[in-house]
């Protein structure tokens, strides 16, 4: 089957080793469902969290993972591209790769620190660095608590550089009945920031 390259929007989605793997995979599912092309990056620590929290054993290697996630979320051919964390030729690694937004969900304290200091020792860090220098939309979703002064200073620095900090802090005014409802609250707010139409969360007052 020929890969479709005609997608209206492209986004880089990275998952790192903080708790909250359900947020990242649900966001991936929604982005694919909305017809966006997704460049997907995942750290080794995030793979471990996915297994611990969701009981999902992600296959090793970029191609097997791409096939697994593509089948799981019904991606069109070419819609989902998975890159290894040392793949310096991946589009998110360069400013010439296109002015596309990036979301790190969940975002560990380590990746937030790297982004705040310009570290680029792997593809996720490099992609965040590129997003900042190219003034691309960058959304980070920290979940760790409590936050130390170091964490807060790093987040403040990133916000001052133009990044959007969206802690995974679900609201409860929508009367969630399941864990999925709580996850969807956070994912819906991220989708709103990206301008992706969503029906996961009713509009306030509607």
Burial of 125 (0-12, 13-18, 19+ CB in 10 A): buried
Q: Is residue 134 part of a domain?
A: yes
Residue 196 exposure: Cα atoms within 13 Å on the Cβ side: 26
Residue 89 lies in a domain: yes
| 68 burial type by CB count under 10 A (0-12 exposed, 13-18 middle, 19+ buried) | middle
User: How does the average pLDDT of the chain come out, rounded?
Assistant: 94
Find the domain containing 86 and state its range.
10-194
User: CB of 22 within 8 A of CB of 116?
Assistant: no
Which of the pair, 206 or 3, is modelled with greater confidence? 206
Sign of CA dihedral 197, 202, 199, 163: positive
Alpha-carbon gap, residue 103 to 120, rounded angstroms: 17
Cβ atoms < 10 Å from Cβ of 64: 12
Q: Is residue 184 part of a domain?
A: yes
pLDDT higher for 158 or 204? 158
- Domain count along the chain: 1
Question: Helices (H) and strands (E) in the chain — how many of each?
Answer: 7, 6
Question: Is 200 part of a structural domain of the chain?
Answer: no
What mean pLDDT is predicted for residues 22-33?
Answer: 98
Do the domain assignments include residue 3? no
Render pLDDT for 104-145 as a digit per residue (tens, 0 to 9).
Answer: 999 999 999 999 999 999 999 999 999 999 999 999 999 989
Q: Is residue 1 part of a domain?
A: no
Residues with Cβ within 8 Å of 35's Cβ and at least 6 positions away in sequence, in order, are 7, 8, 9, 79
Which pLDDT belongs to residue 116?
Answer: 98
* Model confidence at 1: pLDDT above 50: no
Mean pLDDT of 164-169: 97
Give the model's pLDDT for residue 97.
80
CATH number, domain of 103, equals: 3.40.50.1950
pLDDT digits (tens, 9 = 90+) for 34-46: 999 999 999 999 9
Please tell me the predicted confidence (pLDDT) of residue 205.
66
Q: What is the CA radius of gyration of the chain?
A: 16
For the entire predicted model, the pTM comes to: 0.94
Q: Please report the pLDDT score of residue 51 as a whole number.
A: 97
Within a domain: 206 = no
Residue 201 reports pLDDT greater than 90: no
- Please report whether residue 78 resides in a domain: yes
- What is the C-alpha separation between 105 and 167, in angstroms, rounded? 10
């Amino acid at each position: 089957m020929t890969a479709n390259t005609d997608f209206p929007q492209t986004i880089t989605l990275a998952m790192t080793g903080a708790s909250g793997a359900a947020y990242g995979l649900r966001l991936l599912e929604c982005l694919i469902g909305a017809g966006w092309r997704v460049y997907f990056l995942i750290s080794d620590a995030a793979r471990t969290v996915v297994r611990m929290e969701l009981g999902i054993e992600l296959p090793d290697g970029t191609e097997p993972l791409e096939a697994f996630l593509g089948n799981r979320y019904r991606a069109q051919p070419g819609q989902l591209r998975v890159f290894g964390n040392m793949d310096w030729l991946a589009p998110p690694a360069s400013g010439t790769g296109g002015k596309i937004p990036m979301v790190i969900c969940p975002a560990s304290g380590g990746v937030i620190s790297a982004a705040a200091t310009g570290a680029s020792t792997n593809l996720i860090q490099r992609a965040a660095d590129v997003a900042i220098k190219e003034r691309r939309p960058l959304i980070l979703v920290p979940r760790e608590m409590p936050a130390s002064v170091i964490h807060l200073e790093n987040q403040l620095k990133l916000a001052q550089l133009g990044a959007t900090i969206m802690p995974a802090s679900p609201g409860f005014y929508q009367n969630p009945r399941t864990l999925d409802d709580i996850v969807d609250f956070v994912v819906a707010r991220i989708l709103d920031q990206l301008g992706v139409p969503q029906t996961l969360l009713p509009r306030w007052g509607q």
